[in-house]
Amino acid sequence: MDLGNTINDTPPQHTSDNGAHTDIRALNELIQKESAFIDLIKLEMNKVIIGQSHMVERLLIALLANGHILLEGVPGLAKTLAINTLSKTIDADFSRIQFTPDLLPADLLGTMIYNQKKEEFISKQGPIFANFILADEINRAPAKVQSALLEAMQERQVTIGEESFPLKEPFLVMATQNPVEQEGTYPLPEAQVDRFMLKVVLGYPTKEEEKLVIRANVSKAGFPKPNKVVTTDTILKAREVVKQVYMDEKIEQYIVDIVYATRTPKDYGLDELEPLIEFGGSPRASIALATTAKAYAFIKKRGYVIPEDIRAVCHDVLRHRIGLSYEAEAENVTTETIINTILNRVDVP
Protein backbone atom coordinates (compact mmCIF):
# COMPACT_ATOMS: atom_id res chain seq x y z
CA MET A 1 0.00 0.00 0.00
CA ASP A 2 1.39 3.35 -0.99
CA LEU A 3 1.57 6.19 1.57
CA GLY A 4 0.17 8.53 -1.05
CA ASN A 5 -3.13 6.62 -1.45
CA THR A 6 -6.15 8.87 -1.66
CA ILE A 7 -9.85 8.19 -1.62
CA ASN A 8 -10.09 8.49 -5.41
CA ASP A 9 -7.57 5.78 -6.17
CA THR A 10 -8.85 3.35 -3.55
CA PRO A 11 -10.18 0.05 -4.92
CA PRO A 12 -13.94 -0.24 -4.39
CA GLN A 13 -13.65 -3.50 -2.46
CA HIS A 14 -11.24 -5.45 -0.29
CA THR A 15 -11.64 -9.08 0.60
CA SER A 16 -10.81 -10.12 4.15
CA ASP A 17 -9.52 -13.53 5.26
CA ASN A 18 -13.03 -14.84 5.88
CA GLY A 19 -14.09 -13.93 2.35
CA ALA A 20 -16.26 -10.96 3.40
CA HIS A 21 -16.14 -7.92 1.13
CA THR A 22 -15.57 -4.40 2.40
CA ASP A 23 -16.93 -1.67 0.16
CA ILE A 24 -14.36 1.07 0.75
CA ARG A 25 -16.17 3.66 -1.33
CA ALA A 26 -19.39 3.25 0.66
CA LEU A 27 -17.38 3.28 3.88
CA ASN A 28 -15.68 6.53 2.88
CA GLU A 29 -19.05 8.15 2.20
CA LEU A 30 -20.41 6.96 5.56
CA ILE A 31 -17.37 8.24 7.47
CA GLN A 32 -17.33 11.61 5.70
CA LYS A 33 -20.95 12.03 6.75
CA GLU A 34 -20.53 10.74 10.32
CA SER A 35 -17.30 12.66 11.01
CA ALA A 36 -18.72 16.08 10.10
CA PHE A 37 -19.11 16.93 13.82
CA ILE A 38 -15.30 16.77 14.27
CA ASP A 39 -14.96 20.04 12.34
CA LEU A 40 -17.59 21.65 14.59
CA ILE A 41 -15.75 20.57 17.76
CA LYS A 42 -12.39 21.77 16.39
CA LEU A 43 -13.93 25.10 15.40
CA GLU A 44 -15.29 25.69 18.91
CA MET A 45 -12.08 24.54 20.60
CA ASN A 46 -9.97 26.79 18.37
CA LYS A 47 -11.95 29.76 19.69
CA VAL A 48 -10.52 29.07 23.14
CA ILE A 49 -7.32 27.03 22.63
CA ILE A 50 -4.59 28.83 20.69
CA GLY A 51 -2.06 26.47 19.16
CA GLN A 52 -1.75 23.02 20.75
CA SER A 53 -3.48 21.44 17.73
CA HIS A 54 -1.64 18.17 18.46
CA MET A 55 -3.13 17.99 21.96
CA VAL A 56 -6.65 18.79 20.69
CA GLU A 57 -6.41 16.10 18.00
CA ARG A 58 -5.10 13.53 20.52
CA LEU A 59 -7.97 14.32 22.88
CA LEU A 60 -10.40 13.60 20.05
CA ILE A 61 -8.57 10.36 19.17
CA ALA A 62 -8.75 9.18 22.80
CA LEU A 63 -12.44 10.07 22.92
CA LEU A 64 -13.27 8.22 19.69
CA ALA A 65 -11.06 5.22 20.55
CA ASN A 66 -12.62 4.92 24.04
CA GLY A 67 -9.26 5.36 25.76
CA HIS A 68 -7.60 7.68 28.27
CA ILE A 69 -4.79 10.17 27.84
CA LEU A 70 -1.81 11.23 29.94
CA LEU A 71 -0.43 14.71 29.28
CA GLU A 72 3.07 15.70 30.33
CA GLY A 73 4.08 19.32 30.25
CA VAL A 74 5.01 22.30 32.37
CA PRO A 75 2.17 24.34 33.94
CA GLY A 76 0.35 26.91 31.82
CA LEU A 77 0.05 24.99 28.53
CA ALA A 78 -3.80 24.93 28.52
CA LYS A 79 -4.16 21.30 29.63
CA THR A 80 -7.05 22.02 32.01
CA LEU A 81 -8.60 24.49 29.59
CA ALA A 82 -8.51 21.95 26.75
CA ILE A 83 -10.52 19.19 28.42
CA ASN A 84 -12.89 21.70 30.02
CA THR A 85 -13.55 23.23 26.60
CA LEU A 86 -14.04 19.80 25.01
CA SER A 87 -16.63 18.86 27.63
CA LYS A 88 -18.53 22.10 26.96
CA THR A 89 -18.62 21.52 23.19
CA ILE A 90 -20.07 18.04 23.78
CA ASP A 91 -22.62 19.01 26.45
CA ALA A 92 -21.06 16.61 28.96
CA ASP A 93 -20.27 16.58 32.68
CA PHE A 94 -16.77 17.67 33.67
CA SER A 95 -14.88 17.10 36.94
CA ARG A 96 -11.50 18.52 37.83
CA ILE A 97 -9.69 16.67 40.62
CA GLN A 98 -6.53 18.21 42.02
CA PHE A 99 -4.32 15.35 43.16
CA THR A 100 -2.50 16.11 46.41
CA PRO A 101 -0.47 13.97 48.86
CA ASP A 102 -3.36 13.93 51.39
CA LEU A 103 -6.01 12.84 48.87
CA LEU A 104 -7.90 9.64 49.77
CA PRO A 105 -9.60 7.14 47.42
CA ALA A 106 -12.97 8.12 48.94
CA ASP A 107 -12.37 11.76 47.88
CA LEU A 108 -12.26 10.50 44.31
CA LEU A 109 -14.75 7.63 44.20
CA GLY A 110 -17.24 8.52 46.94
CA THR A 111 -18.12 6.95 50.28
CA MET A 112 -20.91 5.69 52.52
CA ILE A 113 -22.58 8.34 54.70
CA TYR A 114 -25.13 7.84 57.48
CA ASN A 115 -28.65 9.15 56.84
CA GLN A 116 -30.17 9.98 60.24
CA LYS A 117 -33.75 10.23 58.91
CA LYS A 118 -33.67 6.79 57.31
CA GLU A 119 -31.28 5.41 59.93
CA GLU A 120 -29.14 3.74 57.26
CA PHE A 121 -25.93 4.24 55.30
CA ILE A 122 -26.31 5.60 51.77
CA SER A 123 -23.79 5.94 48.95
CA LYS A 124 -22.47 9.40 48.14
CA GLN A 125 -20.84 9.42 44.71
CA GLY A 126 -17.55 11.25 44.20
CA PRO A 127 -16.30 13.46 41.34
CA ILE A 128 -15.29 10.40 39.27
CA PHE A 129 -18.95 10.18 38.18
CA ALA A 130 -18.66 12.51 35.19
CA ASN A 131 -18.01 12.12 31.45
CA PHE A 132 -14.71 14.02 31.46
CA ILE A 133 -12.26 13.77 34.33
CA LEU A 134 -9.19 15.94 34.67
CA ALA A 135 -6.79 14.26 37.08
CA ASP A 136 -4.50 17.21 37.65
CA GLU A 137 -0.91 16.32 38.61
CA ILE A 138 -1.73 12.64 39.09
CA ASN A 139 1.81 11.90 40.33
CA ARG A 140 1.23 14.07 43.45
CA ALA A 141 -1.21 11.56 45.00
CA PRO A 142 -0.14 8.35 46.76
CA ALA A 143 -0.39 4.92 45.13
CA LYS A 144 -3.79 4.04 46.68
CA VAL A 145 -5.47 7.01 44.99
CA GLN A 146 -3.71 6.41 41.68
CA SER A 147 -4.76 2.75 41.66
CA ALA A 148 -8.36 3.69 42.56
CA LEU A 149 -8.52 6.00 39.54
CA LEU A 150 -6.83 3.53 37.21
CA GLU A 151 -9.15 0.72 38.32
CA ALA A 152 -12.14 2.92 37.51
CA MET A 153 -10.58 3.67 34.12
CA GLN A 154 -10.14 -0.02 33.35
CA GLU A 155 -13.34 -1.49 34.83
CA ARG A 156 -15.59 1.50 34.00
CA GLN A 157 -17.33 1.02 37.33
CA VAL A 158 -16.86 1.99 40.98
CA THR A 159 -17.73 -0.01 44.09
CA ILE A 160 -18.84 1.96 47.15
CA GLY A 161 -19.54 -0.29 50.14
CA GLU A 162 -21.24 -3.36 48.71
CA GLU A 163 -22.80 -1.62 45.71
CA SER A 164 -21.24 -1.22 42.25
CA PHE A 165 -22.04 1.77 40.06
CA PRO A 166 -21.33 1.94 36.31
CA LEU A 167 -19.57 5.11 35.17
CA LYS A 168 -21.08 7.45 32.59
CA GLU A 169 -20.42 7.00 28.88
CA PRO A 170 -18.49 8.47 27.21
CA PHE A 171 -15.88 8.37 29.98
CA LEU A 172 -12.52 10.03 29.35
CA VAL A 173 -9.75 10.59 31.88
CA MET A 174 -7.10 13.15 31.05
CA ALA A 175 -4.33 12.95 33.63
CA THR A 176 -1.52 15.49 33.76
CA GLN A 177 1.93 15.33 35.29
CA ASN A 178 4.60 17.94 35.66
CA PRO A 179 7.98 16.62 34.41
CA VAL A 180 9.98 19.40 36.05
CA GLU A 181 9.08 19.17 39.74
CA GLN A 182 9.72 15.69 41.14
CA GLU A 183 9.95 16.52 44.85
CA GLY A 184 7.01 15.15 46.82
CA THR A 185 5.65 13.13 43.92
CA TYR A 186 4.76 9.46 43.52
CA PRO A 187 5.78 8.34 40.02
CA LEU A 188 3.20 6.15 38.31
CA PRO A 189 4.25 2.47 38.17
CA GLU A 190 4.87 1.19 34.63
CA ALA A 191 1.91 -1.22 34.84
CA GLN A 192 -0.41 1.69 35.66
CA VAL A 193 0.97 4.03 33.00
CA ASP A 194 0.23 1.25 30.48
CA ARG A 195 -3.51 1.77 31.15
CA PHE A 196 -3.34 5.11 29.36
CA MET A 197 -3.94 4.69 25.65
CA LEU A 198 -1.88 7.78 24.80
CA LYS A 199 0.86 9.79 26.45
CA VAL A 200 1.30 13.22 24.90
CA VAL A 201 4.28 15.47 25.64
CA LEU A 202 3.46 19.15 25.26
CA GLY A 203 5.83 21.90 24.23
CA TYR A 204 5.66 25.68 24.43
CA PRO A 205 3.63 27.66 21.88
CA THR A 206 5.36 29.55 19.07
CA LYS A 207 6.04 33.29 19.46
CA GLU A 208 3.07 34.15 17.22
CA GLU A 209 0.77 31.83 19.17
CA GLU A 210 1.93 33.31 22.47
CA LYS A 211 1.11 36.82 21.23
CA LEU A 212 -2.41 35.60 20.40
CA VAL A 213 -2.69 34.04 23.89
CA ILE A 214 -1.80 37.40 25.47
CA ARG A 215 -4.35 39.25 23.31
CA ALA A 216 -7.12 36.79 24.16
CA ASN A 217 -6.47 37.12 27.90
CA VAL A 218 -6.31 40.93 28.04
CA SER A 219 -9.04 41.66 25.50
CA LYS A 220 -11.97 43.91 26.48
CA ALA A 221 -14.34 41.44 24.86
CA GLY A 222 -13.38 38.84 27.48
CA PHE A 223 -12.35 35.25 27.01
CA PRO A 224 -14.36 33.49 24.29
CA LYS A 225 -16.74 30.71 25.33
CA PRO A 226 -17.36 27.54 23.30
CA ASN A 227 -20.85 26.52 22.20
CA LYS A 228 -22.42 23.11 22.65
CA VAL A 229 -22.33 21.56 19.19
CA VAL A 230 -22.80 17.80 19.77
CA THR A 231 -24.31 15.44 22.33
CA THR A 232 -22.80 12.44 24.09
CA ASP A 233 -25.02 10.21 21.91
CA THR A 234 -23.19 11.56 18.83
CA ILE A 235 -19.86 10.47 20.34
CA LEU A 236 -21.13 7.00 21.25
CA LYS A 237 -22.51 6.54 17.73
CA ALA A 238 -19.21 7.75 16.22
CA ARG A 239 -17.29 5.16 18.27
CA GLU A 240 -19.27 2.40 16.60
CA VAL A 241 -18.52 3.89 13.17
CA VAL A 242 -14.79 4.09 14.03
CA LYS A 243 -14.81 0.32 14.58
CA GLN A 244 -15.97 -0.09 10.96
CA VAL A 245 -12.88 1.67 9.54
CA TYR A 246 -11.14 -0.89 7.31
CA MET A 247 -7.74 -2.20 8.35
CA ASP A 248 -5.90 -4.43 5.89
CA GLU A 249 -4.01 -7.48 7.13
CA LYS A 250 -0.75 -5.87 5.91
CA ILE A 251 -1.41 -2.94 8.26
CA GLU A 252 -2.06 -5.37 11.13
CA GLN A 253 1.27 -7.04 10.36
CA TYR A 254 2.96 -3.62 10.32
CA ILE A 255 1.58 -2.91 13.83
CA VAL A 256 2.78 -6.29 15.12
CA ASP A 257 6.24 -5.76 13.58
CA ILE A 258 6.61 -2.33 15.23
CA VAL A 259 5.60 -3.64 18.66
CA TYR A 260 7.74 -6.77 18.34
CA ALA A 261 10.71 -4.61 17.34
CA THR A 262 10.47 -3.02 20.82
CA ARG A 263 10.63 -6.50 22.39
CA THR A 264 13.12 -8.34 20.19
CA PRO A 265 15.00 -5.66 18.20
CA LYS A 266 17.63 -8.19 17.00
CA ASP A 267 14.98 -9.95 14.89
CA TYR A 268 14.63 -6.72 12.89
CA GLY A 269 18.33 -6.00 12.46
CA LEU A 270 18.26 -3.47 15.31
CA ASP A 271 21.06 -5.00 17.38
CA GLU A 272 22.11 -1.57 18.65
CA LEU A 273 18.75 -1.21 20.49
CA GLU A 274 19.04 -4.51 22.38
CA PRO A 275 21.07 -3.15 25.35
CA LEU A 276 18.97 0.05 25.50
CA ILE A 277 15.53 -1.55 26.01
CA GLU A 278 14.61 -3.09 29.37
CA PHE A 279 11.16 -4.17 28.17
CA GLY A 280 9.02 -3.53 25.10
CA GLY A 281 5.37 -2.78 24.42
CA SER A 282 2.69 -5.12 25.77
CA PRO A 283 -0.27 -6.43 23.72
CA ARG A 284 -2.06 -3.28 24.93
CA ALA A 285 0.36 -1.36 22.69
CA SER A 286 -0.75 -3.33 19.62
CA ILE A 287 -4.43 -2.85 20.46
CA ALA A 288 -3.91 0.87 21.12
CA LEU A 289 -2.02 1.34 17.82
CA ALA A 290 -4.87 -0.29 15.90
CA THR A 291 -7.72 1.56 17.64
CA THR A 292 -6.04 4.98 17.60
CA ALA A 293 -5.07 4.57 13.92
CA LYS A 294 -8.72 3.87 13.10
CA ALA A 295 -9.79 6.96 15.08
CA TYR A 296 -7.11 9.03 13.31
CA ALA A 297 -8.38 7.83 9.90
CA PHE A 298 -11.93 8.76 11.00
CA ILE A 299 -10.79 12.28 11.94
CA LYS A 300 -9.12 12.54 8.52
CA LYS A 301 -12.48 11.46 6.98
CA ARG A 302 -11.08 8.24 5.55
CA GLY A 303 -12.68 4.80 5.64
CA TYR A 304 -9.44 2.83 5.75
CA VAL A 305 -6.12 2.87 7.62
CA ILE A 306 -2.83 3.59 5.81
CA PRO A 307 0.72 3.17 7.21
CA GLU A 308 0.95 6.94 7.66
CA ASP A 309 -1.84 6.73 10.26
CA ILE A 310 0.17 4.21 12.29
CA ARG A 311 3.27 6.43 12.11
CA ALA A 312 1.22 9.49 13.13
CA VAL A 313 0.01 7.95 16.41
CA CYS A 314 2.99 5.67 17.11
CA HIS A 315 4.99 8.01 19.38
CA ASP A 316 2.00 8.84 21.59
CA VAL A 317 1.05 5.16 21.91
CA LEU A 318 4.53 3.74 22.55
CA ARG A 319 6.53 6.40 24.44
CA HIS A 320 5.25 5.26 27.86
CA ARG A 321 5.32 1.55 27.02
CA ILE A 322 9.05 1.11 26.39
CA GLY A 323 11.27 0.64 29.42
CA LEU A 324 14.76 2.11 29.10
CA SER A 325 17.80 0.33 30.54
CA TYR A 326 20.40 2.04 32.73
CA GLU A 327 22.69 2.07 29.72
CA ALA A 328 20.13 4.06 27.70
CA GLU A 329 19.68 6.57 30.53
CA ALA A 330 23.47 6.90 30.90
CA GLU A 331 23.76 7.65 27.17
CA ASN A 332 20.75 10.04 27.26
CA VAL A 333 18.82 7.86 24.80
CA THR A 334 15.07 8.57 24.91
CA THR A 335 12.08 6.47 23.91
CA GLU A 336 11.54 8.99 21.09
CA THR A 337 14.93 8.03 19.60
CA ILE A 338 14.11 4.33 19.87
CA ILE A 339 10.67 4.75 18.23
CA ASN A 340 12.17 6.82 15.40
CA THR A 341 14.82 4.15 14.78
CA ILE A 342 12.18 1.40 14.68
CA LEU A 343 9.91 3.35 12.31
CA ASN A 344 12.84 4.04 9.98
CA ARG A 345 13.89 0.39 9.85
CA VAL A 346 10.72 -1.72 9.98
CA ASP A 347 9.40 -2.41 6.48
CA VAL A 348 6.39 -0.29 5.49
CA PRO A 349 3.65 -2.24 3.66
What's the confidence (pLDDT) of residue 22? 61
Lowest-confidence pick of 6-15, 159-168, 169-178: 6-15
Task: Indicate whether 128 belongs to any domain.
Answer: yes
Q: How many domains does the chain have?
A: 2
Residue 319 and residue 210 share a domain: no
What's the confidence (pLDDT) of residue 184? 58
Residue 194 and residue 338 share a domain: no
Task: Indicate whether 239 belongs to any domain.
Answer: no
Task: Indicate whether 310 belongs to any domain.
Answer: yes
Task: Indicate whether 1 belongs to any domain.
Answer: no
Average pLDDT score, the chain: 86
Residue 253 and residue 118 share a domain: no
**163-166 and 172-177: which strand pairing?**
unpaired
CA-to-CA dists, residue 104 to 42, 84, 130, 211, 250, angstroms: 36, 24, 18, 40, 47
Residue 292 and residue 215 share a domain: no
The CATH number given to whatever domain includes residue 317 is 1.10.8.80
Residue with more model confidence, 323 or 2: 323
List pLDDT tens digits, range 77-129: 888 888 888 988 998 889 999 988 889 989 999 888 888 887 788 888 889 99
Question: Are 128 and 134 spatial neighbours (Cβ–Cβ below 8 Å)?
Answer: no
Q: Looking at residues 138-154, what average pLDDT do you find? A: 85
Residue 278 and residue 254 share a domain: yes
Q: Is the pLDDT of residue 13 over 70?
A: no
Provide the whole-model pTM: 0.87
What's the confidence (pLDDT) of residue 229? 92
Residue 281 and residue 187 share a domain: no
**Domain stops at, among 197, 232, 267:** 232
What's the confidence (pLDDT) of residue 111? 87
**Domain stops at, among 232, 257, 283:** 232
Residue 197 and residue 77 share a domain: yes
What's the confidence (pLDDT) of residue 51? 82
Lowest-confidence pick of 52-56, 61-65, 218-222: 218-222
Alpha carbon distance 346, 260 (integer Å): 10
What's the confidence (pLDDT) of residue 20? 41
Domain of residue 70: give its range.
50-232
Task: Indicate whether 165 belongs to any domain.
Answer: yes
What's the confidence (pLDDT) of residue 7? 38
Q: Is the pLDDT of residue 72 over 60?
A: yes
Task: Indicate whether 221 belongs to any domain.
Answer: yes
Task: Indicate whether 7 belongs to any domain.
Answer: no
Residue 189 and residue 62 share a domain: yes
List pLDDT tens digits, range 254-288: 999 999 999 999 999 999 999 999 989 989 999 99
Most confident of 188-202, 203-217, 275-289: 275-289
Which residues, listed in sequence order, are joined to residue 176 by a DSSP beta bridge? 71
Residue 81 and residue 223 share a domain: yes
Q: What percent of the chain has pLDDT above 70?
A: 92
Residue 256 and residue 167 share a domain: no
**Domain stops at, among 198, 232, 266:** 232
Residue 226 and residue 173 share a domain: yes
What's the confidence (pLDDT) of residue 18? 40
What's the confidence (pLDDT) of residue 11? 43
Residue 300 and residue 170 share a domain: no
The CATH number given to whatever domain includes residue 214 is 3.40.50.300
